Amino acid sequence: MVLKNLKMTLKRSIGGVEVTRLYPEKIMDLPDAERGVHVLDIRKCIGCGACARICPNDCIKLVPYARGNPLKNKKQQYPQIDYGRCMFCGLCVDDCPANCLTMSKVFEIAGWERDDIVYGPEDIAVGQYNDQELAELAEEARKAEEEKKRKAAEAAKAKKAKAAKAKAAEEGEKGSGEKTAKKKAE
Ligand code: SF4
Ligand code: SF4
């Protein structure tokens, strides 16, 4: 048996047959379904927190980040993932209503400190807006907010006017009723 194994080893070493993968120089092809480090499309995330709620290991927390879309995510809160707890189940991805969370083929996660493996939006986000785009979006958000307030004020005014009109009509009806009753009594 020993001789057999020795023979096989010799055969493989002479024949140049690769028996182990040369990691990390050579990384094997990973399947498309590989679940590695998350990728967050920052332009689509609405900050709903569904990913954090569904996570069975409680490893997602929403944290502030200023490079997303304030029109879609008013609070500018985005997922931060603790890879010390993540089991790569993919539930957060499946539950995201905006389809902005995916998982990449990146699997090498290491660090000297515990916090080194807690990835914030700045580590997992793609599509971050630049300063000029952010200024334009902030202006758009401000205008949208003003328009919303204007519409709300208009609606409140219309409601008030309608109530006043109804009250006047009610009082008018009551007044004419009283007059008729008085005439009848005379
Ligand atoms: S990644 Fe998806 S589920 Fe998580 S906060 Fe953003 S939109 Fe919501
Ligand atoms: S992959 Fe699973 S364990 Fe990891 S953050 Fe998403 S839901 Fe949580």
Q: Kindly give the number of the ligand 1 atom that is closest to the alpha carbon of 60.
A: 4
Q: What is the pLDDT of residue 78?
A: 98
The percentage of residues in the chain with a pLDDT greater than 70, rounded to a whole number, is: 90
Q: What percent of the chain has pLDDT over 90?
A: 72
Structure tokens at 41: 């499309």
Q: How far is the CA of 39 from the centre of ligand 1 (A)?
A: 11
pLDDT reported for residue 5: 81
pLDDT at 15 > cutoff 70 = no
The residue whose C-alpha atom lies closest to atom 6 belonging to ligand 2 is: 92
Give the integer Cα–Cα distance in Å for 156 and 161.
Answer: 9
Is 63 touching ligand 1 by the criterion CB < 6 Å? no
The reply to whether ligand 1 has any atom less than 6 angstroms from the CB of 124 is no
- Separation of CA 23 and ligand 1 centre (Å): 34
Contact, 71 vs 44, CB < 8 A?
Answer: no
> Which fold is adopted by the domain 30-150?
Alpha-Beta Plaits (3.30.70)
For position 173, what pLDDT does the model report?
Answer: 80
State the pLDDT at residue 152: 96
Task: Give domain limits for the chain.
Answer: 30-150
**For ligand 1, is residue 51 a contact (CB within 6 Å)?**
yes
* DSSP alpha helix (H) spans, the chain: 2-15, 50-54, 91-95, 121-124, 131-185
Order of strands across the sheet that contains 125-126: 101-103, 38-41, 125-126
Which atom number of ligand 2 is nearest to the Cα of residue 82?
5
The pLDDT of residue 22 is: 83
Residue of the CA atom closest to atom 7 of ligand 1: 45
**Ligand 2 probe mutation, 39, 60, 62, 106, most atoms within 8 A of CB:** 60
Confidence grade of residue 18 (pLDDT, cut at 50, 70, 90): low
State the average pLDDT for the chain.
91
Backbone region of residue 40 per phi and psi (left: phi > 0; alpha: psi in -120 to 50; beta: other values): beta
Task: Give the amino acid at 89.
Answer: C
Mean predicted confidence (pLDDT) in 166-175: 84
> What are the pLDDT digits (tens) for 45-92?
999 999 999 999 999 999 999 999 999 999 999 999 999 999 999 999
